[in-house]
Structure 1
Amino acid sequence: MGELLLCSHGLASVPYYVESIALNVYSLEELCYFLKENIDLIEPSFMDRELAGWVETELHMPDLAKSLYEKIQGGARLSEFIEVLVSGCSYCSREELEKMQQALTDFENKSETECRKIRADRLLLKKRYDAAISEYTRLLNSAEVRGILSGNVYHNLGTAYAGLFFFEEAAASYAKAFERNQNPLSKQQQKIALQLAKGAIPRSKAKEAETDMTPELLERWKEAYLKSCR
Structure 2
Amino acid sequence: MSSYILCQTKKAEKPYYIENISTNIYSIEELCYYLYHNLYLIDSTIINEGLCKWLEEELELTRLAAKLRPYLGKFAGAEDILYPVFKEINYLTYEELRVLNGKIAKLNKEELPVREKKKGDALVENGMYVNAIHVYQKLLECGGRLKGQPELTESIYHNLGCAYSYLFQMEKALEYFQKAYEVSSSEKEMKTYLLAYKSLHTPKEYESRVKELQPGETVLKEVKEAIAHFERTPENKIASGDIDRMLEGFIKEYHRSTGA
Same structural fold, with TM-score higher than 0.5 when normalized by the shorter chain: yes
Name 1:214's counterpart in structure 2.
234
How many residues are paired up? 223
- Residue equivalent to 1:58: 58
- RMSD between superposed Cα atoms in Å: 4.2
Give 1:84 deviation, angstroms: 0.9
1:35 is aligned with what amino acid? L
Q: Match of 1:183?
A: 185
* CA shift for structure 1 position 145: 5.1
* 1:194-205 alignment, distance < 5 Å: 194-198=197-201, 202-204=223-225
Matched with 1:21 is 21
Ranges in structure 2 where 5+ consecutive residues have no aligned partner = 204-219, 239-245
Q: Cα gap change, 1:16/1:101 in structure 2, threshold over 3 Å: closer, same or farther?
A: farther
- Which fold has the larger relative contact order, with Cα–Cα distance below 8 Å and residues 6 or more apart in sequence? 2
Measured after TM superposition, the shift of residue 77 of structure 1 is 1.9
Please say if residues 38 and 122 of structure 2, whose CA atoms lie closer than 8 Å, have aligned partners that are also in contact.
no
User: Which letter maps to 2:185?
Assistant: N
Q: 1:17 to 1:160 in 2, by over 3 A?
A: closer
Indicate how the Cα distance of structure 1 residues 146 and 61 shifts in structure 2: closer, same or farther if over 3 A, else same: closer
Letter aligned with residue 16 of structure 1: Y
Alpha-carbon distance change, 166 to 145 in structure 1, aligned in 2, over 3 angstroms? farther
CA distance in 1, matches of 2:88, 2:259: 42
Q: Pick closer, same or farther for the CA change 1:23–1:198 going to 2, 3 Å.
A: same
Instruction: Decide whether aligned partners of structure 1 residues 84 and 171 sit closer, same or farther in structure 2, where only a CA change above 3 A counts.
Output: same
What per-residue deviation string (whole Å, max 9, x for no partner) do you get for residues 26-81 of structure 1?
Answer: 21112112223333322366443442333223211223233333565996522232
Farther-moved stretch of structure 1 (84-93 vs 156-165) = 156-165
Task: Name the amino acid aligned to 2:30.
Answer: E
Q: 1:77 to 1:156 in 2, by over 3 A?
A: same
Change (3 A) 1:213 1:77: closer
Residue 41 of structure 1 aligns with which residue? 41
Q: Residues 17 and 23 of structure 1 are in contact (CA less than 8 Å); yes or no, is this contact kept in structure 2?
A: yes
| CA contact 2:162–2:173 (8 Å) conserved in 1 | yes
For structure 1, the 5+ residue unaligned runs are none
Specify whether residues 205 and 145 from structure 1 end up closer, same or farther in structure 2 by C-alpha distance, changes over 3 A only.
Answer: same
Displacement of 1:194: 0.8
Q: Percent identity?
A: 26
